[in-house]
Structure 1
Amino acid sequence: MVQIISFLSLNGAPFTVNIYPFISLYNDPNFPVDYAFFDGSSSPINDNGRTYTNVFDANYDTLFWALQKNGYGNISIIVGEIGWPTDGDRNANIGYAQRFNQGFMSHLNRGTPMRPGPVDAYLFSLIDEDAKSVQPGNFERHWGIFNYDGTPKYNIRLGSNRGGLVRASNVHYLPRRWCVMSPSASLQDPQVAPSVSYACDRADCTSLGYGTSCGNLDGQGNISYAFNSYYQINNQLESACRFPNLSVVTTSDPSVGTCRFNIMIQSANQGDGGFLLEPIGLLMQMVVFLLTLL
């Protein structure tokens, strides 16, 4: 490792590190929740006269101390990824994500006890990734500050922008229809389990489970969510809602509470003559928007 640091130092390159306070909380049920955030800890840690009220500062300074001890205290440090997910775990929610990310943006220019001053960092991430690996957990698909359709999940001020995030424009949706479990179907039908497994393996069901945004759905609701996820990711193809004697297409929105049954956005070849934003176009539009804030 020291050889790598030496190479970076000789070539004037920074050392890049990812710091995820959420992972500390996820891995240890006894981790103090308020120590993951930036609005003060009920149990600050004193380290030889330096006070630590959050785990980010502690992690950053642990790295800095190790670099300094080995003679590389002047090397630049970049936080390559930092953020908070909004779903997929009981501690992954919009409230915590807004609290953490806004707190980090406010904390950014202060630096840490050992290295005061602005911190170079990249907020992770722009939008959710519904096909990302779910190792180490379902939250891995929910780091975005924007939803898949370019709508902000919550308000956050970036850089000199005082008005918060702005939703993407010219986004068009497929028709308002959803694939759900048929009212006449039975939960005891032997085809239920393999059908749900098939749908979730090919779509995204990480919003289902304890403490998630859809964690309060009943059995029929869980099945409907799985069916609809598969239906939407396949652009509402009629054949994508043909689970044997189990599914039906409805025009009544099955969303309930915090659980959102999504409708897929249109791609360029699905329109009727007008320009429709493709997913990659939406992504680039949002990147340009964020760059103008900084």
Structure 2
Amino acid sequence: MAPLTFSFFFILISYISSSSEAGSIGINYGRIANDLPTPAKVVELLKSQGLNRVKLYDTDATVLTAFANSGMKVVVAMPNELLANAAAEQSFTDAWVQANISSYYPATQIEAIAVGNEVFVDPNNTTKFLVPAMKNVHASLVKYSLDKNIKISSPIALSALQNSFPASSGSFKTELLEPVIKPMLDFLRQTGSYLMVNAYPFFAYAANSDKISLDYALFKENPGVVDSGNGLKYTNLFDAQIDAVFAAMSAVKYDDVKIAVSETGWPSAGDSNEIGASPDNAASYNGNLVKRVLSGSGTPLKPNESLDVFLFALFNENQKTGPTSERNYGLFYPSQKKVYDIQLTAEAPPSGVGKSQVPVSGDVTTSSKGQTWCVANGGSSEKKLQNALNYACGEGGADCTPIQPGATCYDPNTLEAHASYAFNSYYQKMARASGTCYFGGTAYVVTQPPKYGNCEFPTGY
């Protein structure tokens, strides 16, 4: 592995130092079921998975009390059926905020209120109440001096778009634009908030499986799709969907408003016509999405803006109506057993995942407690990973002798395995200093010994 040139080294260092911070992963905690664990047990489950953000669909007192002093950031919701009253009277939102927000905050770290959910497709036609309700809730937050710490938004479905393909042609439905979209985006801009978007590549794939590649939908290797409008290349459907929303916002001059993905997921089971619903595909979609979010990379249209994403959902919910998939989006069964095993944080890859995907870690032994290692993010592009590997083995001064042909750590002969060894060598030589396991978002720290084949990763030099 030849050392990098000085000019390329300078460019790489500039890139590493200027890269956006990683996005965050949260999870939606729905409760339309009669067999779920207690909220207190749910808090412990989330903590055990390293998650610190959760989104609720109401302001249930037992749930909010359970999250008090937990360190978890919580998004709560005002249900659609309350929007008419919230729009009509600020006295209503004053009472609602006092009872459901200020009574729990700050012990329960409420960070945002979702006013309604997918209001534009609500059969009860609550669209006209949305923005007035948002404004009244915000005014009530101001009254109780909570507006600086708690944002107001409202999740929209992709069905709010008139056009979504190609992404560059993204536009909002004309009948929504003047009455609600523009006033809502204006409110979000004025309050420094963000647009919540529910994005489900599964729906698009299931309806167009003859035209959309499954690998494209699941973040797997594929030729990609070049947008005919802007020339950008898309390697996954999720990015294309989000950029369609960005394009629609840009078309009405609100491209400075940020986006958070309030729901996205893939079902582990479905009816015969729900093509693609399976445990393997759900694990691929959610697992690869987590890697992509934690890498800190943005979308092709907004490459420097990382995304905050809430997975849907925490549990399979047995009382949800509709097709079979509706009851099978959970990462966990109500018993708290995993439906499938994926990595949810950058710090603790789970055991039992294929070695070609994520380093498999055994139990933490006494000798490894308190130690950390640096490994490659398998969700990074091959080019970024190779550039970072070149730096680590070149100017970085990592000991890359063990990953040369015939040496002890040459097998498995994969870019991810070799990069992981090199990154860790550099990280350990730098005394595990903060920021030395980043490499432009292609690496992260783990707290259990990584295992690629029979190669042992050093913990110091």
TM-score by length of 2: 0.34
**3-state DSSP of counterpart to 1:79:** strand
Q: Does residue 119 of structure 1 match 2:299?
A: no
Measured after TM superposition, the shift of residue 93 of structure 1 is 0.9
Match of 2:247 in 1: 65
The Cα shift of 1:29 comes to 3.7
Over 3 Å counting, the alpha-carbon distance change for 1:57 and 1:110 in structure 2 is: same
- Partners of 2:224 and 2:236 within 8 A in 1: no
1:2 to 170, 173, 182: 182
Q: Measure how far apart 1:44 and its partner are.
A: 2.2
Partner of 1:129: 317
Distance (whole Å) between structure 2 residues aligned to residue 36 and residue 16 of structure 1: 21
The residue aligned with 1:145 is 331
CA contact (8 A) 1:152 1:165 kept: no
Instruction: Tell me the SS of whatever aligns to 2:233.
Output: strand
CA apart distance, 1:98 = 0.7
CA distance in 2, matches of 1:53, 1:44: 6
SS at match of 2:262: strand
Task: Report whether the alignment pairs 1:12 with 2:192.
Answer: yes
Contact 1:132/1:141 (8 A) holds in 2: yes
The answer on whether the counterparts of 1:83 and 1:124 sit within 8 Å (CA) in structure 2 is yes
Structure-1 residue corresponding to 2:284:
99
For residue 205 of structure 2, what is the aligned residue in structure 1? Answer: 25
The SS at the match of 1:2 is helix
Question: Contact conserved, 1:40 with 1:54, CA < 8 A, in 2?
Answer: no
User: What is the match of residue 78 of structure 1?
Assistant: 260
Tell me the CA shift for residue 71 of structure 1: 1.5
> What is the deviation of 1:19?
0.5
Q: CA deviation at 1:2?
A: 1.2
> Identity over aligned residues, as a percent?
32
> Is the alpha carbon distance of 1:11 and 1:140 closer, same or farther for their aligned partners in structure 2, counting shifts above 3 Å?
same
Deviation at 1:143, TM superposition (A): 0.3
Large movers: runs of 4+ above 3 Å: none
Letter in 1 for 2:282: A
Structure 1: distance between partners of 2:267 and 2:194 = 27
Task: Looking at secondary structure, tell me which structure has more helix per residue.
Answer: 2
Q: What is the SS of the residue equivalent to 1:15?
A: strand
- Counterpart amino acid of 2:315? I
Cα distance, 1:43 vs structure 2? 4.6
Q: Distance in 1 between matches of 2:281 and 2:223?
A: 17
CA RMSD of aligned residues (A): 2.1
Secondary structure of 1:80 counterpart: strand
User: How big is the shift at 1:162?
Assistant: 2.2
Matches within 5 A, 1:249-264: none
The aligned amino acid for 1:97 is A
51, 58, 62: which one aligns with 2:233? 51
8 Å CA contact 1:79, 1:122 repeated in 2: yes
In 1: Cα distance, 2:347 partner to 2:280 partner: 21
Distance of 1:92 and 1:147 partners within structure 2:
16
Q: Return the alpha-carbon distance in structure 2 between the equivalents of residues 18 and 99 of structure 1.
A: 19
Q: 2 CA distance for matches of 1:92 and 1:124?
A: 14
Whole-angstrom CA distance in 1 between matches of 2:262 and 2:237: 17
Q: 5+ residue gaps in structure 2?
A: 1-180, 353-461
Task: Name the aligned partner's letter for residue 278 of structure 2.
Answer: N
Which position in structure 1 is the counterpart of 2:348?
Answer: 162
Partner of 2:189: helix, strand, or coil?
helix
SS of 1:65's partner is helix
- What is the Cα deviation at residue 81 of structure 1? 0.3
Give the Cα–Cα distance (whole angstroms) in 2 for the partners of residues 162 and 5 of structure 1: 37
Q: Distance in 1 between matches of 2:343 and 2:292?
A: 13
Could you give the per-residue CA deviations for residues 8-33 of structure 1, whole angstroms, max 9, x where no partner exists? 21121210110000011222242322
**Alignment match, 1:218:** none
Evaluate the alpha carbon distance shift between residue 46 and residue 133 of structure 1 in structure 2; reply closer, same or farther with a 3 A threshold: same
